Amino acid sequence: MILTGSEIAKQVKQGRITVSPFDDSRCTTNSYDLALGRRLVIYQDEVLDPRRAPAHELRDIPDDGYTLAPGDFLLAETAERIGSDHYVPMIHAKSGTARLGLFVHVTADLIDLGFVGHSTLQLYATLPLRIWPGMLIAQVTFWMPYGQIELYQGKYQHADGPQVSRSYQDQPTVVGRG
């Protein structure tokens, strides 16, 4: 079951959903519009290896924006801290953003129950496009879980700014041939 925009606002006011800062006018039919934060991560390695911490650069988006070229991939943050212990948030691109050729959350749109923080957006440009801090770029929906709830306590909890991949922490040790 998905929450309507008015129910999202009600649950935020009751403290069962975190959206901070919150603006009632950004509640839509069944989602809440998210703004782009200021910080970006750009990977520096020519080849990314999930067994190693990636080299990266953290940048701020200038007030006059940042231009992405076709094929550019970077990580960005939501301006809002979001999360819930009661509902499952899912992030999607706003349709207007998608129509400009920007994939906002390429994969990993599901946010775990119990996560609260600035969500990391995976931006991929298919056309030249300028992004700027504060632009409404994505939307979050909230879904009712079914079954026993276990709250997220993982490595990205309380994220502040875009988070690089930490998949190297989860990779099994390679065993040689015997």
User: For position 29, what pLDDT does the model report?
Assistant: 96
| Whole-number pLDDT of residue 161 | 77
Handedness of CA 95, 100, 106, 112 (dihedral sign): negative
Q: Encode the chain (178 residues) as per-residue pLDDT tens digits.
A: 999 999 999 999 999 999 999 999 999 999 999 999 999 999 999 999 988 889 999 999 999 999 999 999 999 999 999 999 999 999 999 999 999 999 998 777 888 999 999 999 999 999 999 999 999 999 999 999 999 988 888 767 777 878 877 777 777 766 666 5
Question: Which of helix, strand or coil describes residue 56?
Answer: strand
Q: How many residues does the chain have?
A: 178
Q: What angle do CA 130, 132, 134 make, to 5 degrees?
A: 145
Contact (CB, 8 A) for 76 and 36: yes
Region class of 101: left (phi > 0), else alpha (psi between -120 and 50), else beta? left
Q: Which pLDDT score, from 0 to 100, does residue 110 have? A: 82
Q: Does the reported pTM lie above 0.85?
A: yes
Instruction: Domains for the chain: give ranges and CATH numbers.
Output: 5-148 (2.70.40.10)
